[in-house]
Amino acid sequence: MDRPQILQRLTQIIRQVLGDDQIALTPATTAEDVPGWDSFNHVNIIVGAEVEFGVKFNASELEDLKNVGDFAALIEKKLANKK
C-alpha cells in the first residue's frame, strides 16, 4: 500500500471519528487544522488506524509526528516491516 492510499484511508478514519464527511486532509494537515480534533479524538484516531491497518504504535513514535503526512509515513513503514 502506498502513501496516497494510506492518506485516503486515514481521511476516512478521521471523518468517521469526527463525524464530518467534508474533512479533506493533505500531508501537511495538523490536528489544529481540523475542528473537533482534540486529545480525546486523537486517541480514537490512533486506535482506529491501528485497527484499520493492523499495526500497533508506541508512544515515542507518536510523539514525533508533526502532521498527517508523518502519520502516513509511519503507517507505511509499519506495513513494510510486517511483510
- Domain limits of the chain? 3-82
Q: Is the pLDDT of residue 31 over 80?
A: yes
Q: What is the pLDDT of residue 37?
A: 97
Calpha distance 82→30 (Å, rounded):
27
Q: Is the pLDDT of residue 83 over 90?
A: no
Mean pLDDT (whole number) for 6-18:
98
Calpha distance 81→83 (Å, rounded):
6
What is the CATH topology of the domain spanning 3-82? 1.10.1200
Q: What is the pLDDT of residue 82?
A: 83
Residue 30, by phi and psi: left (phi above 0), alpha (psi -120 to 50) or beta? Answer: beta
Per-residue pLDDT tens for 32-59?
999 999 999 999 999 999 999 999 999 9
Global pTM value: 0.92
Q: What is the pLDDT of residue 77?
A: 96
Q: Give the contacts of 36 (CB within 8 A, at least 6 positions apart).
A: 18, 19, 20
